[in-house]
Structure 1
Amino acid sequence: MSQGTAATPTFALEDTLPRVPLPTLEESCERFLAWCAPLLTEAELAATEAEVAAFLRPGGPGRMLHAALEEYDATEGVHSWLDTFWPYRYLGRRDRIALNANFFFLFRDSDLPQVERAAGLIAAAVHYKRRLDRELIEPVVQRGQPQSMEQNKFLFSTTRIPGTEQDTVRAPYTDQWPGPSEARHIVVFFRGAMFRMDVLGPDGVPHSLADLEAGLRAVMKAAAERPVAADAPVGHLTTMARAQWAAARQSLLACDPGNAEALDAVETALFCLCLEDCAPADTQQACDQLLYGDGGNRWFDKALSLIVFGDGRAGINVEHCGLDGTTILGFVDALLDTPAEEQSRRSGARTQGPPKPSPVVFELDEALRAHVRSAADAFAAYGKNTATAIVSFEDFGSNTAKALGVSPDAFVQCAYQLAHRRAKGHLGATYESIATRQWRRGRTEAMRVVTAEMQRFAAAMDDPAAHADARRSAFRAAAEKHVARAKECQAGQAPEQHLWELELIQRRRGTELGVTEQPALYRSPGWLTMRDDYLSTSSAPSANIQYFGFGSTSSRCIGVAYVLLPERLNLYLSTPLPVAGEMRAFADSLRAAVGELCELMAADHG
């Protein structure tokens, strides 16, 4: 639907969605022990049980912290007991977000050259925004349950602002900026140069595709004629650790009055478009460039950065604080499901003459230039110290798993565990992101994959004495337990984020609440081991994307981003360079494990 009215306006159901249930303290502690137990020795489990008992005792720290959370959840204007958790979790991190937190999608291929592809993506994104402004995008409904559309408010003109202790967000639909953004421009990057380019005319009507193409060619010509010095692209600063970037941003503002205007142009832009002056050698290099690429040709704090390579391949880099994969999948499907010409027509675009790009220029002193150089060098080194790999299964997809009588997600998660055991010799803590948008302001829940059933399955597969029937039985039990736990997470019956928020309350309000020290539970073997990821996994199923990816979450973790579709499975793996050998062993073992499990289950269905 392009014009007129939506049967249900985009945000009409938000306040009718059920609230995220707050588990009791006893429930979360009981689940926590069950979840961490498979990863612990008997002594470690006993030590963790003792700390849980101390946490739970009458008048103990757990009771005080949970009572404060219950009070907060009941406060007028609070939508969810997670309302404070999310910004603290995402905006409170102090390391760099480039590569560490932002995620990417590689779009399906197109025959269009670079400029035409980029103009088409701009036109489609502008069409989506105009529909969103009028609330013409119907709320998503899954299995009869409406999903929260709140995150759509953070797609356009949204920018993360670095802070010394915690970041903030500059965004529309807020008290400071009520309603949709009225910005008419985007920021285009090419060879490290930045240009402000209007994509909507003075009356708010979108520019035609021909106009946009002419504007982009003007950007590329201007950037080629006046090359940017290596120590000038301010985008490099967005790759720094957050407090360092916050200090550099203050230096920018103090250096020259014009820098405030330049920052304003970037921060209020609808989104960024990054035109790359090269074509990736292969698909893996395209993924790597989308994940981190040249920091001088990015603004990693921007919610959305569309990236188009010299050969027309394209993708998106997303700042994660207000946006999760499910929202971006919906946006990308809207961009790519309909041809650009039709998107432009539906948006009411018309020829208005090419937009005239204007350079976004920052005045830098020698200290800031030194910051830019050091940030560029440090990020380039960080990228080189990250190992990545892609794994593609052309002969396996969700239809394969269903035909074998196994939940597709459970199938691949079991395969990951089997491959990990064979690559590293043991199972380790594994995170899986579970979408919970059916709740008011819902985002995701943290699921822990390693269960006792998963352990028995992985052991049975490598036990020479185990017969095929025993292996099949163990596989089914592990898969069924996985499905059951995922459903618990979707229902808000998971312990990790609840207990984590109690820890954060102690940090923020401990003195006021009489809990002056961090409870020992958070130093227990169970808490530390369960959250020390060996695998961090997340899924993004869409026919419009080839690969999805993110960086590793710890020094020994392998990030596993997977696109599981009816006829194919594509994975992007990332890990710190010292773990590269184990990551490659995991990839090799995974190929074998998927085939082995298919063969095992096919014998039972033959």
Structure 2
Amino acid sequence: MNVSQEAAVSATFAREAGLPRVPLPTLEASCERFLAWCAPLLTAEERAETEAEVAAFLRPGGPGRVLHAALEEYDATEGVHSWLDTFWPYRYLGRRDRIALNANFFFLFQDTGQDQLDRAAGLVAGALNYKRQLDEGLIAPVEQRGVPQSMVQNAYLFSTTRIPGVPLDTVRAPYSDRAPGPSTARHIVVFFRGGMFRLDVLGEDGTPHSLDEIEAGLQAVTKADVHTAAADRVGHLTTMARAEWAAARDALIARGPRNAGTLDDIETALFCVCLEDLVPEDTKATCDELLYGDRGNRWFDKAVSFVVYADGRAGINVEHCELDGTTILSFTDALLGTAPEEHARQSGARSQGRPVPRPLTFELDDTLRARVRSAAEAFAAYGAATATSTVSFGDFGSTAAKALGVSPDAFVQAAYQLAHQRAKGHLGATYESIATRQYRYGRTEAMRVVTPEMPAFVAAMDDPAADRDTRRAAFRAAATAHVTRAKECQAGDAPEQHLWELELIQRRRGGELGITEQPALYRSPGWLTMRDDYLSTSSAPSENIQYFGFGSTSSKCIGIAYVLLPDRFNLYLSTPLPVAGQMHAFADRLREAVAELRELLAG
């Protein structure tokens, strides 16, 4: 997207043009790193086969040279912010399976003791204050260790909706050619028992309603005499695979003008608030509901949906295509770090009369109702086929790791590898998301955790002949290698996204470039093994959240979302049901590994 001129002059976005561009690695450097990264997971025969395919890819006039030259040309094109400008839409908007559970992520907020409507009103007030600050350019650009970070993703926090399509989805958002500048919407969409309501939370002049009025409007939603039959809960359709949902959306629009108007209300809404009439039995169940709770009470395509349970517990479900965890962390920290009353005061909120919720309904026929029912049933089955677990360390955090003289992230990633070996009997490809927002329009880089030093460390820990000093030295070597690789990824010195984008260029433009077949590199053991996740990991450190979570990325993968704070360490694990036993074994082994490594390093 292009941040409009109007937005670019605001302080929030003003530094964007001055940020350094994402560096484009040389083809030789990425191929060399790729071979080094995949090597620890391959047999000698697989390594030799992969090396041969890399050599063919790299040969003068070979496919790699042609594809990389096309990427260099694109990177130098006027108006292109990054060589990844096309990669990100294809990576996220190009996925054809369902995004609910598979792509969206959640945060479970800290409890406040408020009741449901008080909590929900406070979240609305905080979000409206953040929007006011964003619109006025008052959100200061984030800095990490003094280095300014890209703020572009903030443009997608409000009135942003993913629109299903074939073969790619699109995004409807402000700060775009279609809607230059900030969102002018004054309403949110509130879900309750599968019913949808439009609630205007800003007055005609853009001033927020008072906290009491927002709460009264939410209460009116829960008291409304509207019963939405299960087959009329169109939110279920957002759980479908993307092309199927696109066809259903077209059918909705073709059914009658009311449906197009309702979709417009949903898609332009500032955000969603999902009020639940249930109280999850425990923290894990609360997390599960945030990840894939449905009952037609969600619109998973919406960028931001606050979910508030009957007992006042709350969290957020986020559509991932334009928003990463780091941006949502800043947003939620701003929301939760200030009292709702102060948010209301700062935003200029005032009494304007209680906002009256307006039911949002669709005109459906039997065919559309059948689609809603089948979508609901299929997603319920998909959720039931997902196993999850929470793991909490109340006596360990980043402070304890630093006291042992080790990077906290290196410590926990080494513990994951040791636990995986003991739970499954082998290591496997492990993904870690590394933020690269110090670059213009920067997002993340893909890090592969299994360095050559990692298997050596794991082997030493389970070698009866290895003494304490040997094990400690192996751990230190693995931790050092981890930190080095993470820094390389942060600097853009990583092979995976570069080579992946070359593959995508071949798919999109292979005919015109004379590369009509997929290069064999992408069918090599190295490429397939390195990207076949056994563990997919990402962290979200914030005092304001209890847990962070997402779905696993393959049929044998364990998703590990972790909150590592100075005094605690919480994880949410997810995996397909057939891997449930291994996931629970991994959790048990992880508890042991953390204790064992602490004891090893303390001695």
**In the alignment, which of 181, 200, 225 is matched to residue 179 of structure 1?**
181
CA separation in 1, counterparts of 2:515 and 2:80? Answer: 24
**In the alignment, which of 122, 147, 161 is matched to residue 145 of structure 1?**
147
CA RMSD of aligned residues (A): 0.9
Deviation (angstroms), 1:257: 1.1
CA separation in 2, counterparts of 1:18 and 1:294? Answer: 42
**Residue 469 of structure 1: aligned partner:** 469
Structure 1 residues 436-451: aligned runs within 5 Å:
436-451=436-451
Amino acid paired to 1:301: D
Amino acid paired to 2:86: T
Equivalent residue of 2:372, what SS?
helix
**Residue 523 of structure 2: aligned partner:** 523
**Residue 239 of structure 2: aligned partner:** 239
Equivalent residue of 1:30, what SS?
helix
Q: Deviations over 1:269-320 (max 9, x none)?
A: 0000000011111000000000010150000000000000000000000000
- Cα gap change, 1:131/1:249 in structure 2, threshold over 3 Å: closer, same or farther? same
Amino acid paired to 1:560: I
Q: Deviations over 1:234-261 (max 9, x none)?
A: 0000000000000000000011110000
**Residue 584 of structure 1: aligned partner:** 584
Deviation (angstroms), 1:226: 2.5
TM-score, normalised on structure 2?
A: 0.98
The list of structure 1 runs, each at least 4 consecutive aligned residues, that deviate by more than 3 angstroms after superposition, is none
Q: Does 1:379 align with 2:372?
A: no
Equivalent residue of 2:332, what SS?
helix
**In the alignment, which of 109, 112, 115 is matched to residue 111 of structure 2?**
109
Q: Does 1:389 align with 2:394?
A: no
**Residue 4 of structure 1: aligned partner:** none
**Residue 125 of structure 1: aligned partner:** 127
Q: Deviations over 1:368-421 (max 9, x none)?
A: 000000000000000000000000000100000000000000000000000000
Q: Contact 2:258 / 2:362 at 8 angstroms: preserved in 1?
A: yes
CA separation in 1, counterparts of 2:107 and 2:340? Answer: 19
**In the alignment, which of 11, 14, 20 is matched to residue 12 of structure 1?**
14
**In the alignment, which of 34, 42, 53 is matched to residue 36 of structure 2?**
34
Equivalent residue of 2:500, what SS?
helix
**Residue 79 of structure 1: aligned partner:** 81
CA separation in 2, counterparts of 1:50 and 1:323? Answer: 38
Q: Deviations over 1:44-65 (max 9, x none)?
A: 0000000000000000000000
CA separation in 1, counterparts of 2:144 and 2:10? Answer: 15
CA separation in 1, counterparts of 2:414 and 2:106? Answer: 25
CA separation in 1, counterparts of 2:166 and 2:371? Answer: 17
**Residue 226 of structure 1: aligned partner:** 226
Structure 1 residues 508-547: aligned runs within 5 Å:
508-547=508-547
Q: Does 1:367 align with 2:367?
A: yes
**Residue 68 of structure 1: aligned partner:** 70
CA separation in 2, counterparts of 1:189 and 1:540? Answer: 27
**Residue 278 of structure 1: aligned partner:** 278
CA separation in 1, counterparts of 2:265 and 2:436? Answer: 34
5+ residue gaps in structure 2?
1-8
Deviation (angstroms), 1:164: 1.6
**Residue 434 of structure 2: aligned partner:** 434
**Residue 261 of structure 1: aligned partner:** 261
Equivalent residue of 1:104, what SS?
strand
CA separation in 2, counterparts of 1:187 and 1:213? Answer: 14
Equivalent residue of 1:547, what SS?
strand
**Residue 329 of structure 1: aligned partner:** 329
Amino acid paired to 1:58: P
**Residue 504 of structure 1: aligned partner:** 504
Amino acid paired to 2:162: R
CA separation in 1, counterparts of 2:421 and 2:148? Answer: 39
CA separation in 1, counterparts of 2:80 and 2:110? Answer: 40
Q: Contact 1:295 / 1:379 at 8 angstroms: preserved in 2?
A: no
CA separation in 2, counterparts of 1:510 and 1:443? Answer: 27
CA separation in 2, counterparts of 1:143 and 1:277? Answer: 43
**Residue 310 of structure 1: aligned partner:** 310
Amino acid paired to 1:51: E
Amino acid paired to 1:349: A
Equivalent residue of 2:447, what SS?
strand
**Residue 294 of structure 1: aligned partner:** 294
CA separation in 2, counterparts of 1:15 and 1:191? Answer: 45
CA separation in 1, counterparts of 2:538 and 2:226? Answer: 42
Amino acid paired to 1:285: A
Q: Deviations over 1:190-219 (max 9, x none)?
A: 000000000101111100010001101110
Q: Contact 1:430 / 1:448 at 8 angstroms: preserved in 2?
A: yes
**Residue 6 of structure 2: aligned partner:** none
**Residue 5 of structure 2: aligned partner:** none
5+ residue gaps in structure 1?
1-6
Equivalent residue of 1:231, what SS?
helix
Identical aligned residues as a percent: 77
**Residue 339 of structure 2: aligned partner:** 339
Q: Contact 1:161 / 1:168 at 8 angstroms: preserved in 2?
A: yes
Q: Deviations over 1:354-376 (max 9, x none)?
A: 10110000010000000000000
**In the alignment, which of 53, 56, 62 is matched to residue 54 of structure 1?**
56
Equivalent residue of 1:33, what SS?
helix
Equivalent residue of 2:569, what SS?
strand
Equivalent residue of 1:297, what SS?
coil
Q: Does 1:155 align with 2:157?
A: yes
CA separation in 2, counterparts of 1:57 and 1:344? Answer: 63
Deviation (angstroms), 1:143: 1.3
Equivalent residue of 1:456, what SS?
helix
Q: Contact 2:10 / 2:136 at 8 angstroms: preserved in 1?
A: no
Q: Deviations over 1:501-520 (max 9, x none)?
A: 00000000000000000000
**Residue 458 of structure 2: aligned partner:** 458
Deviation (angstroms), 1:8: 8.0
Equivalent residue of 1:515, what SS?
coil
CA separation in 2, counterparts of 1:286 and 1:578? Answer: 22
Deviation (angstroms), 1:144: 1.5
Equivalent residue of 1:132, what SS?
helix
Q: Deviations over 1:60-118 (max 9, x none)?
A: 00000000000000000000000000001000000000000000000000111000000
Amino acid paired to 1:238: T
CA separation in 1, counterparts of 2:230 and 2:343? Answer: 38
Q: Contact 1:433 / 1:444 at 8 angstroms: preserved in 2?
A: yes
Pairs aligned (count): 596
Q: Contact 1:238 / 1:295 at 8 angstroms: preserved in 2?
A: no
**Residue 193 of structure 2: aligned partner:** 191
CA separation in 2, counterparts of 1:494 and 1:592? Answer: 32
